[in-house]
Amino acid sequence: MSYAVKECYLTVQGEGAQAGITAVFLRFAGCNLWSGLERDRAKAVCQFCDTDFVGTNGPGGGKFKTANALADHIAEFWPQSERAQAAPKWVVCTGGEPALQLDKEAIEAFHEKGFKIAIETNGTIALPEGLDWICVSPKANADLVQTTGHELKLVYPQKENRPEDFSDLDFGVFSLQPLDDTNQAAHSEAAFEYCLEHPKWRLSVQTHKYLGVP
């Protein structure tokens, strides 16, 4: 299959249990929960998405005819020094919804380039085998299909989804991330207090937004 990528760049993971690692971020175009167009937001399954995943015109974006071509592309973003090549190489596949495009061929091609593969998914599509880090972020009014993984990261608060709805699922880490809207300060305080009372949950802060980096 061919692959449509909105953007691709080298950065430091800013949120969740893997915060702080250097990684190539690969943002696939498209999502199964809404079109990404503001005119359709009222009809979207997920109402709070703040990510542009429409088209292939972002930095490092484009269309790739094969998995090998896409793997070659992400490899260009990793530093070429000997020390960098010896360090753990991560590619974080996100979107939109990366599970619409990330397939067995791409996973194998990324691994052949020496990359470990992380995915940030809404969990509504069963994932292929071979992923090295699975982070599921449930969305309101969306049925969860992927109920196992390394991390469950819940945007908080949501009227439809409560942390206790997911606490018994098979994940290694449970992260609570304040909803980023006009009431972000209040949401941050609420998430902080919830984590104090429920230590199973970790507070996830979007440090990249504070630093002003991608």
Active-site positions? 25, 31, 46, 49-51, 120, 208
- Say how many C-beta atoms besides its own lie within 10 A of residue 124's C-beta: 20
The 3-state secondary structure of 62-121, one letter per residue = EEECCHHHHHHHHHCCCCCCHHHHHCCEEEEEECCCHHHCCCHHHHHHHHHCCEEEEEEE
Three-state helix/strand/coil letters over 113-179: CCEEEEEEECCCCCCCCCCCEEEECCCCCCCCCCCEEEEEEEEECCCCCCHHHCCCCEEEEEEEEEC
Question: What tokens were used for 34?
Answer: 């809404």
Cβ–Cβ < 8 Å for 63, 3: yes
Determine phi and psi for 17, rounding to 5 degrees. Answer: -70, -20
The C-alpha angle with vertex 171 and arms to 166 and 175, in degrees rounded to 5, equals 65
